Amino acid sequence: MGEIDFKNVDIEGLESSPFTEELAGLRANEARYYWNHFKTKFVTFPASERPDIIQMIDRIVAERDLKFNYQPLEVADFTTERVRHLYVFYQNGLSINVMYDLDDPQKRAVGFKLSDHMDVPKEFEGKFKFAKMRSKLAGTIRGSYFKIKQEYPL
């Protein structure tokens, strides 16, 4: 895909999702956040070009006995202020992001965001509560997270 434009939401790369518009809005919402807070451009790649990102995220979410068999569409990998950010956007409307402080093990977490209108995946039932947030770009976003306990070579 490339650089994500948060002013003109583009669905490119997400067309196979049943939540194309919602997932594109979620991706644009993330792009706006990183631009507003860090002046960092949010750049995504087709998941097939960076399977290493999906493998890293899979290893980390396994801490909570989570395994996702969803089709990854796009990924992102960048660093802001010594925090590495990994993202995967799945066909079913789920977005997972890892925020991994390279210096402070207390500041490492995995975030989950559900696209507007998608059901909560069965893997989350009984394990996570989701908070709701309104976004002009993404409608209602439901999100949750957990703190990373182990050390990972990123």
pLDDT tens track for 120-144: 999 999 999 999 999 999 999 999 9
Does residue 63 sit in helix, strand or coil? helix
Note whether residue 153 is domain-resident: no
Note whether residue 152 is domain-resident: no
- Answer yes or no: is pLDDT of 1 > 90: no
Distance CA 116, CA 29 (A): 12
Note whether residue 13 is domain-resident: yes
Note whether residue 130 is domain-resident: yes
Q: Where do we find the tokens 């990994």? A: 86
Q: Are strands 72-80 and 131-135 parallel, antiparallel or unpaired?
A: unpaired
Number of domains present in the structure of the chain: 1
Q: What is the mean pLDDT of residues 89-109?
A: 97
Domain limits at 95? 2-147
pTM of the model: 0.95
Q: What is the mean pLDDT of residues 142-154?
A: 93
Note whether residue 31 is domain-resident: yes
Per-residue buried b or exposed e for 118-145, using 16+ beta carbons within 10 Å of the residue's own CB: beebebbeeebeeeeeebebbbebbbbb
The reported pLDDT for the residue numbered 153 is 86
Note whether residue 63 is domain-resident: yes
Note whether residue 91 is domain-resident: yes
Note whether residue 112 is domain-resident: yes
Give the model confidence (pLDDT) of 112-122 as tens digits.
Answer: 999 999 999 99
